[in-house]
Structure 1
Amino acid sequence: MKTLVVKCFLLLALVCSCRAADSIWQLCNTNSNISASSQVSKNIDSLLATLVSKTPSKGFKTTTSSSYNNKEKVYGLAQCRGDISNTDCSTCIQDAAKKIREVCQNQSDSRILYDFCFLRYSQENFIGKLDTGAGLIYFNVANVTEIDPKKFDNELGALFDKIRSEAVLPKNKGLGKGKTKLTPFVTLNGLVQCTRDLSELDCAQCFATAVGSFMTTCHNKKGCRVLYSSCYVRYEFYPFYFPLDPAKTGPSVGRISSVHLSP
């Protein structure tokens, strides 16, 4: 698949109680000559039913679906963000399964990302393989003014070194989160997560690739999200992971523009 990076210039919402029905990104491999046959389509529906029913209990599921002779096999993965409830996970996966069939019609290589979950299926076996070939970057258009830029870089780097090292530990299931005070009145919040099919090494490599955008596309910005099929990293100047502090959230405001880049 051709590498595709999407960079969205976004004045981010001040609150993260995002509805699961609002997808962030979907990728349908329309460049591929592989389209879903009738049997593959049935296998996809069967696979999605399994992901919808099985993912919420543990927040993660991989599965396959094939016909009686093991031809036209489809591989699938679903994962919820590690800080959300089983109920929110279930809602998100249901929405993802429904929408991916609407936006990626007749495609046998598709993925969809929400703030709370990620779902993917393909006829190629992608399970356990690092994938940073396609991604999405969101960042706040406002620059950091509350702290010296060099100090901010150092604090941001230290926070993500900490939460990345936590996320790769098997007991944490790919999730790391934390915060640090930049000033008495400003707190930097960060979260990372990789898909739980990855090895510790591949998870760390995905994080390194994603966090690299903090010093380029997102440099000195007040918020940034870098999203790949294999991992997710984010920082904000407001609480966005659960449990939220309602006293520190605010209304959603913003302007969105985007540019698609390809090699």
Structure 2
Amino acid sequence: MLMRSLHHMYSTHKTILLLRLTSFFLLLFIFLSNHRNLVQAQVFIYAGCSQEKYQPNSPFEGNLNSFLTSVVSSSSQASYNSFAIGNGTSIPAEAIVYGLHQCRGDLKTIDCSRCMESAVNQIGLVCPYSYGAALQLEGCYVRYEHNDFLGTLDTSLRYKKCSKSINNDAEFFRRRDDVIADLQTAMGFKVSSSGLVEGYAQCLGDLNSGDCSSCLADAVGMLKTLCGSAEAADVFLGQCYARYWASGYYDFASDSSNEDQVGKTVAIIVGIIAGIAVIIVLLSVCRKSMG
């Protein structure tokens, strides 16, 4: 009777231990997944800097620092905001800072804020003492100027990326055309898919609906004219962007094969441990029922 009781206690202890290990690996897997998403959001896409430079310790620099601080604070509350720092004061007009920030529409608030922190930290390094600068990361965008650009349509090409071409695949091109036609109707941020083709597009928040449509029409047109029969394409204009890709083929964010392998390994471990834990729990329940 004593041996049976000890055996039962040992089985219960093993069950609790395995359940705890399962919980630990599940939490680890969630952490790695969130970390991968955050890393991808902060991948550098492009930057642009004005040739005109300001002087250190100038009124413009003080307003620029206030703008960058406001961007980090604002991004923890909203994915988009615009600013005019110093407007309406007695400082010279050339010291006023106009700017905005925007995160990708599907980014969580906490990831948006962290992405903007990264963007703010980088923009001064990439564009030191510049009167105007723009920096695009995978998940967020920040721009400032000493001239008021807010609400003014800008469809100039800032960045493009095209993958290898596909030949003789009528189904792919039909699906791609469906996706990019749908993306052209976006107001703000939009995701679209057709078969194995996916894509999304976004306008900056300072554009009205008519200018957003015009910007996206140009972006979608460039996806086809600049990238032709590419299996994946990415076009950023001054105030909007559009992209499409074949599912499972192209990762715009980064070469994340190592991260993927870590995630897959953890997932396999979690699955094995969870399976063993379930079996032991069931066996324990059966033994207890058979008494």
What is the rounded CA distance, in whole Å, between the counterparts of 1:223 and 1:56 in structure 2? 32
CA apart distance, 1:211: 1.0
Higher helix share: 2
Give the match for residue 49 of structure 1: 69
What is the rounded CA distance, in whole Å, between the counterparts of 2:222 and 2:216 in structure 1? 10
CA apart distance, 1:152: 3.6
Give the match for residue 61 of structure 1: 81
The C-alpha deviation readout for 1:121-172, integer Å capped at 9, x for no partner, is: 00111111111224100111x2225722xx544332222222332x22xxxx
Match for residue 162 of structure 1 among 182, 195, 206: 182
Q: Is 1:196–2:205 an aligned residue pair?
A: yes
CA apart distance, 1:107: 0.5
Unpaired runs of 5+ residues, structure 1, are: 1-15, 169-173, 182-186, 241-248, 253-263
1:1-263 to 2 correspondences below 5 Å: 17=37, 18-30=39-51, 34-37=52-55, 38-66=58-86, 68-71=89-92, 72-140=95-163, 142-145=164-167, 147-148=169-170, 151-165=171-185, 167-168=186-187, 174-181=188-195, 187-238=196-247, 251=257
Structure 1 residues 84 and 118: alpha-carbon distance in aligned structure 2, compared to 1, 3 A threshold: same
Q: Give the TM-score of the pair, scaled to structure 2.
A: 0.68
CA apart distance, 1:230: 0.2
Amino acid at match of 1:194: C
Give the match for residue 171 of structure 1: none
Q: Whose radius of gyration is greater, 1 or 2?
A: 2
Higher strand share: 1
What is the rounded CA distance, in whole Å, between the counterparts of 2:71 and 2:50 in structure 1? 21
Question: Contact 2:183 / 2:242 at 8 angstroms: preserved in 1?
Answer: no
What is the rounded CA distance, in whole Å, between the counterparts of 1:207 and 1:138 in structure 2? 17
Structure 1 residues 196 and 86: alpha-carbon distance in aligned structure 2, compared to 1, 3 A threshold: same
The secondary structure found in structure 2 opposite 1:58 is coil
What is the RMSD of the two structures over their aligned residues, measured on CA atoms?
Answer: 2.2
Question: Contact 2:161 / 2:235 at 8 angstroms: preserved in 1?
Answer: yes
How many equivalent pairs are there? Answer: 212
Unpaired runs of 5+ residues, structure 2, are: 1-35, 250-254, 259-291
The C-alpha deviation readout for 1:41-65, integer Å capped at 9, x for no partner, is: 1111100111110123220010121
Structure 1 residues 239 and 130: alpha-carbon distance in aligned structure 2, compared to 1, 3 A threshold: farther
The C-alpha deviation readout for 1:166-193, integer Å capped at 9, x for no partner, is: x22xxxxx01111111xxxxx1001000
Amino acid at match of 1:251: S
What is the rounded CA distance, in whole Å, between the counterparts of 1:196 and 1:28 in structure 2? 21
Q: Give the TM-score of the pair, scaled to structure 1.
A: 0.75
Amino acid at match of 1:138: K
Quick one: higher RCO (CA 8 Å, sep 6+), 1 or 2?
1
What is the rounded CA distance, in whole Å, between the counterparts of 1:203 and 1:232 in structure 2? 10
